[in-house]
Amino acid sequence: MDLEWVDGGVTAPPGFLAAGVRCGLKSKGRDLGLLGSPRGCAAAGLFTTNTMPGWPVVLSREILAECDKVAGVVANSGVSNVATGAAGLAAAKEMSSAAATLFADLWGSDERPALVAQTGIIGEVPAIDRIRSGIADAGLSLSEDGGPDFAEAIMTTDTVPKSRAVRLEIGGSVVTVGGAAKGAGMIAPNMATMLAFLTTDAALTPDAARALLVPAVNESFNRISIDGDMSTSDMCLLLANGESGVAVEPGAESGRRFARALAALCEALAVDLVRDAEGVTRICRVDVLGAASDDDAVRAARAVAESPLVKSALFGSDPNWGRLWMAVGKSGARADASRLSIRIGDVSVLETGTPKPEGKRLAAGPMGEPEVRITIDLGLGDGRAHFWFSDLTYEYVKINAEYHT
């Protein structure tokens, strides 16, 4: 079986239940979600590289370091629980405890910890009474069809929920991987990007889950940029309940097949985030080829993706390749002007350092497409990398001028 895309998001893998409810942390809409499995889950997580993270990041890191299995995760939108002092830490711990107790009571199991994820306004202590009430309400709504509601409950300035799932075959058995993500602004590489929750019915150890998660995230969520700002609260969690009975081991054929599915899911969710960026009118994928190393390719691609001048040109449908030249030059990647080539769509605008006479005129068409493709060949080696990014628009400025962060 090739990869088969299916509905359901985080509850597509058998054995996972989820819910999303409104508890009043936001002015409207669902704002609290529960996700878990009665079997318990092996878990792995990657977290923001921001040096001043929120309490949910601190607490969830500790839980993963200390526990082999978790019951699931409780997440809210509206309040991020960042810069909230001792009261905020107490609220995060109470949130985790309330969810863990609810999961144990519902499923008649030993109490396992619940991971915590929060996103929203910085500097406000979460209203724990509302959260406790929301956890109780969500417990009544937990179902195998609750994936879409969970995806909605984690949204902030997102305009649509992001939810995906994929099936594959390993050793003659079907395995499913699901996911939900949010994040419309404060998106930059190195897992300072968003909230992402990945689920699977494969049987994984925590170490195996992390070994599979790291490369998938590096090639997807760490390859997108909306505004270059690193959030304080964001994370990517992988939960595996083993319901399928299919053991997956990194390095084995089972691990290679699972890794391809996980990478495809993460890439699809990452691009969904860029498509729903704040104020977005078009998006772009930049591929850097021919770099002296993969690291150099990443440096050059990131510099292009995060350049306000490049993003402004994207908004204006302006095939101004000089801004791409500039971004490569400032990136720190090894480059030789006489070897640099640039294509916008299928149009060559620069060939081994020499501008193409009709390049800009011909590139105006592909630069105005809803999804633009730019290819930069450094001509130095075999290193390559890609980034997805959005344009920088008037609406982006308006949204962030009016949103109290």
Mean pLDDT of 357-361: 94
Query: Which one-letter amino acid corresponds to residue 260?
Result: R
pLDDT: which is higher, 95 or 189: 95
Please determine, for residue 265, whether its predicted confidence score (pLDDT) is greater than 90.
Answer: yes
Under 8 Å between Cβ of 22 and 15: no
Please tell me the least confidently modeled range out of 112-121, 197-206, 273-282, 361-370: 273-282
CATH architecture of 4-275: 4-Layer Sandwich (3.60)
Superfamily of domain 283-402: ArgJ beta chain, C-terminal domain (3.10.20.340)
Domain residue ranges in the chain: 4-275, 283-402
Residues that are catalytic: 193
Condensed to tens digits (0 to 9), the pLDDT of residues 6-59 reads: 999 999 999 999 999 999 999 999 999 999 999 999 999 999 888 889 999 999
Domains 4-275 and 283-402 share a fold: no
Mean pLDDT of 129-142: 98
Kindly report the average pLDDT of the chain as a whole number.
93
Question: For the CA atoms of 66, 69, 71, 73, what is the dihedral angle to 10 degrees?
Answer: 60
Condensed to tens digits (0 to 9), the pLDDT of residues 292-316 reads: 999 999 999 999 999 999 999 999 9
Please determine, for residue 128, whether its predicted confidence score (pLDDT) is greater than 60.
Answer: yes
Other C-beta atoms closer than 10 Å to the C-beta of 348 total: 17
